[in-house]
Chain A
């Protein structure tokens, strides 16, 4: 199944003009500043923007063409809005049943029982929406959208209305959704933290236009995109668990060109895990340091450099085929004589596990 969208909306002060191929598996994040058209794009896919022109093909079904638009209730989607928007006159069970009863999806049914279990809603079924916390309401909204057994799940900043604690509560559920149900997730967000946690693929939007598309690993490490600027610049890497050192409680995580040693509880061998490396936790040396407390040191080649403000510089380093970003002072860069193409050593002080 492939999802091809070509949309055009003109509203005077705002216009959307995009042409994209959305991966039909995994989590795709639509990322950008407020007002860049993220939500509008998602709503257009759901058929909720009547003034949207263009075409939309999902698998072998034409959802929109020049003279035709499939009404929203006939599109096989699950939609989670920014606010939970539960039906206040129905209890949780009835909310969950509303879409399931009307679903005529030919796809393999997602079991409601399983969804209720996964999102931990069993004890809430008899309650009315106003008796639930914000986090609980949003979990019900996610389960309700899934119960339709949709061809894809569209999520419009489902965590934005929640406080930090509730976000931490829901993130793991979202993470497991994709793994459990194998349906593509299209996720609108303006939080790079959520994107780093969840997304495999990224669509960067700016003022209604597509700025870049690609894997999270690739786009987060590109210096020509706004993602590389700001204090929380990071690289996201997927690595495979290849071993564990019991004595020092270290996991060994293999990436394409080496392995990281990361402290923590043992991870299941052979599983894939997502790592986050902050640019400010990466330092650069010209020679291999052997007498150092840093465990993760890799030979690297300087691929690109960009100034960050007036005192700092962001350096893109290639460790084999993998790129990571380092944030150092301009003085250090100058003292070390860093230039593009130079062979150096990247010292990674902290590696955080995201999943």
Chain B
């Protein structure tokens, strides 16, 4: 069955997916709101940047992140100057990479939900005496709850399956940065098909159940906005 390393990898993967999803929900909500409501002419530039991970080979994203996070990159260099360590090959680095990698999967459902809501509910709340922040929390977020469910599940599930980005910036350090998808790869490389079967099967079921939940709650659901 599962080796000790596999359990570690699973634990790191779940931790990574949870932290990434939480961070994305926190920074993604205001961005999604702005994208849904703004009439700025060049909004499409931001939208394109956020959607990039949908089409970009993960290795490309990983390559640039490696450079940025490494000791000579702008972020890694800054971290070192502040007395920390370079972020490449660390769990923090993995989180940063995953946040970029899974960003469209969280922002797009939120943006769609905020957009579909229209301006009316917020106007009504304003005439009823609710301040902008107050109406955002009492009206916009509850009305967009199906969007939040979709965003959470997709962000989580997508981070679970991360491979290329992790390999590039996390290395493959068992017990530190080795995630489950890479563990499967290693098992296959070593011709340990039983282990690979066990992990793959569990991931398959987990992914299926999460998506089933989303579809059960949201009748009109699309991964990518058309």
Contacts and interface: CB of A to CB of B under 8 A. Distances in A.
B partners with A: yes
B192 interface: no
A88 interface: yes
Contacts of A88: 143
A87 B120 contact: no
Contact of A73 (B121, B126, B143, B145): B126
Interface majority SS (helix, strand, loop, mixed), chain B = helix
A79 B124 CA distance: 8
Which of B120, B129, B139, B143 has the most chain A CB atoms closer than 10 A to its own CB? B129
Which of A77, A79, A102, A103 has the most chain B CB atoms closer than 10 A to its own CB? A102
B131 A73 contact: yes
A120 B87 CA distance: 65
Interface string A78-113: 110101010111000000001100111000000000
A64 to B, nearest CB: 15
A102 B120 contact: no
B125 A89 contact: no
B127 A98 contact: no
Nearest to A46: B127
A83 B121 CA distance: 11
Chain A interface residue count: which class? 20 to 34
A102 B124 contact: no
B129 A102 contact: yes
Contacts of A99: 127-129
A75 B131 CA distance: 11
A99 B126 CA distance: 9
B129 A89 contact: no
B128 A85 contact: no
Interface in B110-148: 120-121, 123-132, 134-135, 138-139, 142-143, 145
Which of B120, B128, B130, B135 has the most chain A CB atoms closer than 10 A to its own CB? B128
A148 B129 contact: yes
B4 to A, nearest CB: 46
B143 A102 contact: no
A148 B124 contact: no
A145 B130 contact: no
A238 to B, nearest CB: 31
A98 B125 contact: yes
Interface residues of B, number: 19
A89 B142 contact: yes
Contacts of B124: 79, 81, 85, 87
A72 interface: yes
Contacts of A85: 120-121, 124
Contacts of A354: none
A98 B142 CA distance: 14
A71 B121 CA distance: 16
Given A81-B120, A85-B120, A85-B121, A145 B143 contact: no
Contacts of B139: 87
Given A87-B139, A88-B143, A89-B143, A98 B121 contact: no
Given A87-B139, A89-B142, A89-B145, A48 B126 contact: yes
A38 interface: no
A144 B128 contact: yes
A71 B124 CA distance: 13
Contact of B128 (A89, A98, A104): A98
B130 A102 contact: yes
A102 B131 CA distance: 9
Nearest to A88: B143
Contacts of B145: 89
B112 to A, nearest CB: 17
A71 B120 CA distance: 16
Nearest to A98: B128
B165 to A, nearest CB: 37
Contact of B127 (A79, A83, A89, A104): A79
B23 to A, nearest CB: 26
Contacts of B143: 87-89
A78 B127 contact: yes
Contacts of B129: 73-74, 99, 102-104, 148
Interface in A59-77: 71-75, 77
Contacts of A79: 124, 127
A102 B128 contact: yes
A87 B121 contact: yes
Contacts of B130: 73, 98, 102
4 nearest CB pairs, A to B: A99-B128, A102-B129, A79-B127, A72-B126
19 contacts: A48-B127, A72-B126, A73-B126, A73-B130, A73-B135, A74-B129, A79-B124, A79-B127, A81-B123, A83-B120, A85-B120, A85-B121, A87-B139, A98-B130, A102-B134, A103-B129, A104-B129, A144-B128, A145-B128
Interface of A: 46-48, 71-75, 77-79, 81, 83, 85, 87-89, 98-99, 102-104, 144-145, 148
Given A71-B132, A73-B132, A79-B124, 6 more contacts: A73-B131, A81-B123, A83-B120, A87-B124, A102-B134, A145-B127
